[in-house]
Amino acid sequence: MEKTFLMVKPDGVQRGLIGEIVKRFEQKGFQLVAGKLMVISREQAEYHYAEHKGKPFYEDLVSFITSGPVFAMVWQGDQVIALSRLMMGKTNTLDAQPGTIRGDFAVHTGMNLIHGSDSPESAEREINNFFKPEEIAGYDKVL
Ligand code: CMP
């Protein structure tokens, strides 16, 4: 079963959108297998955003993601990586279509509410950055 790492960013937590965001993925038919509210360390943020190091927005990005609690999650389901990114909407909020999370709730590209892994390799790396294997629940025995 494919897994992805999704994270409600500090703006989403502060605006009280955790429930709305979780609801959308539950209603789509995906399963939440791990979730925790946490403040990310600078080290974790730098590892998470390593591919953006050197870009003009990198420092703001690391400051923002460490500025307050995030809600880190692991979800599973068929094609959950690609489908969850469709549900999130494009990074640039001007391109995020209505009906998507960013299209419905975000105005700024830097504060775009949610992060989602963009490939199986990123998902594995990001899940391991935020969760220990024993924190990920298995549904296999009940379904
Ligand atoms: P995300 O896709 O989660 O990961 C990279 C983040 O960088 C992106 O969301 C945005 O929140 C942030 N960001 C800020 N400014 C820019 C920009 N100009 N282009 C792309 N991403 C940006």
Give 137 Cα–ligand 1 centroid separation in angstroms: 30
Predicted local confidence at residue 57, as pLDDT: 96
**What single-letter DSSP state applies at residue 90?**
-
Residue 122, pLDDT score: 97
Catalytic residue check, 48: no
Q: Does residue 112 line the site of ligand 1, with CB under 6 A?
A: yes
User: What does pTM read for this prediction?
Assistant: 0.95
Task: For ligand 1, pick from 51, 91, 101 the residue to mutate: most ligand atoms within 8 Å of CB.
Answer: 91
CA distance 129 to 72: 11
Q: What is this model's ipTM?
A: 0.89
Is the CB of 91 within 6 Å of ligand 1?
Answer: yes
- For 89-134, the pLDDT digits (tens) are 999 999 999 999 999 999 999 999 999 999 999 999 999 999 999 9
- Quick one: the chain helix, strand, coil %, rounded to 5? 45, 20, 40
Q: How many of the other CB atoms lie within 10 Å of CB of 12?
A: 23
Backbone conformation region of residue 48, classed left if phi is above 0, alpha if psi is from -120 to 50, else beta? alpha
- Cβ–ligand 1 distance for 61 under 6 Å, the answer yes
Q: What is the pLDDT of residues 50-76, one digit of tens each?
A: 999 999 999 999 999 999 999 999 999
